[in-house]
Amino acid sequence: MSNTYFGFAVSDSMFNGDSDIRRKAISEDEAARLIKDAIICLNPSHKATISVMTEKFGIQVEIPETPPRVSLSNGDSLVVMGVRGLPRLTDRHEYSPEEISGATFKFSLYTISTR
């Protein structure tokens, strides 16, 4: 049985052994459809970015208290929302409308094949 995960980044520690990775850009609508049934791999520190995602794309997710450990195996997928242009929030807890409008958001689907 394969799983679909959702997060904001890909990490080397997510892979279970040697893998081939297929990356494909996907639309916001396709991302929303996949995320609806995905295992959410976000944490409370992502709250401001999650709020922006909900505001811009209408995608709502439950933030787990502790994100699950991801171990991608054959047939698993990972939906990633890549964000460029949003600053790190070090002294506040939300983004300004100007920061949001200046950022870019791209969704990708990574599909794993193990060797």
- The pTM score is 0.89
Q: Phi/psi of residue 110, each to 5°?
A: -105, 125
Numbers of helices and strands, H then E, in the chain: 3, 5
Question: Residue 93: pLDDT band by 50, 70, 90 thresholds?
Answer: confident
Q: Which two tokens stand for residue 65?
A: 């208290």
Integer distance in angstroms from the first to the last C-alpha of the chain? 17
The pLDDT of residue 11: 92
CATH number of 4-11+23-104: 3.40.50
The answer for residues whose C-beta is within 8 angstroms of residue 98's C-beta and 6 or more apart is none
Domain extents in the chain: 4-11+23-104
Q: How does the average pLDDT of the chain come out, rounded?
A: 90
Is the distance from CB of 79 to CB of 5 less than 8 angstroms?
A: yes
What's the pLDDT tens digit per position in 9-64?
999 999 888 889 999 999 999 999 999 999 999 988 888 889 999 999 999 999 88
Length of the chain as a residue count: 115
Task: Look at strands 39-40 and 4-7 and give their pairing.
Answer: parallel
